Structure 1
Amino acid sequence: MTRTPTVLATSGGFAYDARGNFRPTALAQLALRLTGADRPKLCFLATASGDSVLYVQRTYAAFAGWSVDVSHLSLFSMPNVDDLRAHVLAQDVLWVGGGSVAGLLAMWRLHGLDDVMREAWAAGVVLAGVSAGSICWHVGGPTDSFGPELRAVTDGLALLPYGNGVHYDSEEQRRPVLHRMVASGELPASLATDDGAGVLYRGTEPAGVYAERDDAQGYLVEASGGEAKETVLPTERL
Structure 2
Amino acid sequence: MTTDEPTILATSGGLRPGERTYFEFTPLTQYAVDLAGVAGRAPRVCTVTTAGGDAAHVMHGLAEAGRIAGYEHTNLQLFGMPNVADVEAHLLSQDVIWVMGGSVVNLLAVWRAHGLDAILHRAWQAGVVLTGVSAGSICWYQGGTTDSFGPQLAPVTDGLAFLPYGNGVHYDSEERRRPLIHRLVADGTLGPTHCTDDGVGLLYSGTELVEAVAESGAGAYVVQRDGDTVREDALDVRRLPARAGGRR
* Aligned mate of 1:172, from 165, 169, 175: 175
Structure 1 outlier segments of 4+, above 4 Å: none
Question: Match of 1:4, as an amino acid?
Answer: E
SS in 1 for 2:46: strand
Deviations 1:42-101 (A, max 9, x none): 000000001111111101111224331100101100110111111111111000000000
Does residue 137 of structure 2 align to residue 134 of structure 1?
yes
CA distance in structure 2 between the aligned counterparts of 1:75 and 1:227, rounded to whole angstroms: 43
Does residue 205 of structure 2 align to residue 206 of structure 1?
no
Report if the CA contact (8 A) 1:24-1:63 is conserved: yes
Q: Which residue of 1 aligns with 2:23?
A: 22
Q: Which residue of 2 aligns with 1:10?
A: 11
CA distance in structure 1 between the aligned counterparts of 2:37 and 2:65, rounded to whole angstroms: 21
SS in 2 for 1:72: strand
How far off is 1:151 after superposition?
Answer: 0.8
How far off is 1:27 after superposition?
Answer: 0.2
What is the TM-score when the length of structure 1 is the normalising length? 0.97
Where do residues 25-40 of structure 1 align in structure 2 (5 Å cutoff)?
Answer: 25-38=26-39, 39-40=42-43
Runs of at least 5 residues in structure 1 that lack an aligned partner in the other structure: none
Does residue 84 of structure 2 align to residue 81 of structure 1?
yes
What is the TM-score when the length of structure 2 is the normalising length? 0.93
* Aligned mate of 1:62, from 60, 65, 68: 65
SS in 2 for 1:98: coil
Report if the CA contact (8 A) 1:5-1:125 is conserved: yes
Question: Match of 1:105, as an amino acid?
Answer: L
Which deviates further from its counterpart, 101-110 or 37-46? 37-46
Does residue 82 of structure 2 align to residue 95 of structure 1?
no
Question: Percent identity among equivalent residues?
Answer: 53
Report if the CA contact (8 A) 1:4-1:122 is conserved: yes
Report if the CA contact (8 A) 2:21-2:61 is conserved: no
SS in 2 for 1:2: coil
Report if the CA contact (8 A) 1:184-1:226 is conserved: no
> How many residue pairs end up in the alignment?
237
Where do residues 181-192 of structure 1 align in structure 2 (5 Å cutoff)?
Answer: 181-192=184-195
Question: Match of 1:116, as an amino acid?
Answer: I
Runs of at least 5 residues in structure 2 that lack an aligned partner in the other structure: 241-248
How far off is 1:139 after superposition?
Answer: 0.2
Q: Which residue of 1 aligns with 2:164?
A: 161
Question: Match of 1:231, as an amino acid?
Answer: D
Deviations 1:185-217 (A, max 9, x none): 101101000000000000001100000002x11
CA distance in structure 1 between the aligned counterparts of 2:238 and 2:202, rounded to whole angstroms: 10
SS in 2 for 1:137: coil
Question: Match of 2:34, as an amino acid?
Answer: R
Root-mean-square deviation (CA), in Å? Answer: 1.0
* Aligned mate of 1:71, from 62, 67, 74: 74
SS in 1 for 2:63: helix
How far off is 1:20 after superposition?
Answer: 5.4
* Aligned mate of 2:154, from 151, 160, 163: 151
Report if the CA contact (8 A) 2:51-2:104 is conserved: yes
CA distance in structure 2 between the aligned counterparts of 1:65 and 1:118, rounded to whole angstroms: 29
Question: Match of 2:157, as an amino acid?
Answer: T
* Aligned mate of 1:226, from 224, 228, 231: 228
